[in-house]
Chains A and B, each alone.
Chain A
Amino acid sequence: MTRNDILWREPDPVEPAEIRRLLDDALGPEPAMRMDPDALLQRALRRERRIRIASMSGAVAAVATVTLGLALVTSSPALEDGPATPSRLVPGASVEQEPSSSSPPSTSTPSPSGGHSKHQVRTTPHVSRTYAVSPPPSRDERPRSVQRVPDIDEQPIEQPPMAP
């Protein structure tokens, strides 16, 4: 039976001195201290220098990031003057297209009904050829003729006759 057994067997509250004695027992014989105050000071100085450099680097990086961000924002093409080209627009944004003023009215022979008749066939913009089909001819005018209405900047190309 050790001294601690005697101390803690009693149900009464323990005295602080007894607990202190228990802690003193727990300490036991103390080994020699290996800590060198001078070496610790050098370590502390190195650590402080490292922290200072890290904080300065962080501040410089933050300033550089803000400057770069501001430069990017101010030189953004969206803020420049002038009409927005389709390449600058956000995908999905609606664009109001004006009718093309560069192409003059067609000089070809108008159809009898005036303007574009319901027989007029327009191909895709890439092809950009307009064909005006004349109204149904009389029986003695066969074969049917197809008149082509060329664009202004397009050389006339001979087209095969369209199927009836």
Chain B
Amino acid sequence: MSILVNSSTKVICQGITGSAGAFHTKQCLDYGTKMVGGVTPGKGGQKDANGLPIFDTVRQAVEATGADATMIFVPPPFAADAIMEAADAGIRVIVAITEGIPVLDMVKVKAFLKDRPNSVLIGPNCPGVITPGECKIGIMPGYIHLPPKDAKSGKSVGIISRSGTLTYEAVWQCASRGIGQTTAVGIGGDPVKGLNYIELLEMFNNDPQTDAIILIGEIGGTDEETAAAYIKQHVNKPVVAFIAGRTAPPGKRMGHAGAIISGGEGTAESKINALTAAGITVAESPATIGEAMAKVLGV
């Protein structure tokens, strides 16, 4: 089992003719993802380098291919529109990789998606989602992941992370200890985004194959604190967490629009305290996330 996507998920790429879209469509195909086509307005009827059909609109792509997931590489000025187009065409899992979408565009997207409860958005500004061995939608390097069926420890984890490259770090550390991953989701670092910790914690908690959950957060906002409270109340699987930015000086913006500390809110300390108080193991170093998980799982 897994969450969100699996071997039967049919995926299109919006922005398939751009350099990043084309490169990662090929990477996803190579990984085994069921890529069924792409969308670039004005290039409908053509085929991409892999022979995938290109459509002018998402609706045409869905009608022709039965796609139920999309990977968006559309440039920032047009990305909000692309997300809404996908939702309106009935796409179930929308993965927005694009970095740099204006915040107020995302505010409107969130309001738009409220009326389309069958679509979930992952991102933007994220690496995407992967169910190892089955379906990779995004820019993560596929080979670092370990499908549950190949996990020597017999245990598998679900991963939720605000940071792309830290997700890879956690995956790699688990895989090299024989711990598989059911699904890994990068939720992105933007202040206004799609799925957040709580929705995904619920999905992983309900997924019988997921033995434990890794939560990776960073300074800024209060999502980790909210997640800690939710875990304490509702999650009956072990959770290991890591929070990046302990050494970040207050008041400095560290890249992600998200990682801003203001007042006492959203510091690494406040998040670590909330998580620890909820009985969650917090890894001290970004290099010991896998080790902490191995210990919790007794492998």
> Are A and B a genuine interacting pair, yes or no?
no
- Please report B residues at the A interface, Cβ cutoff 8 Å: none
- Please report A residues at the B interface, Cβ cutoff 8 Å: none
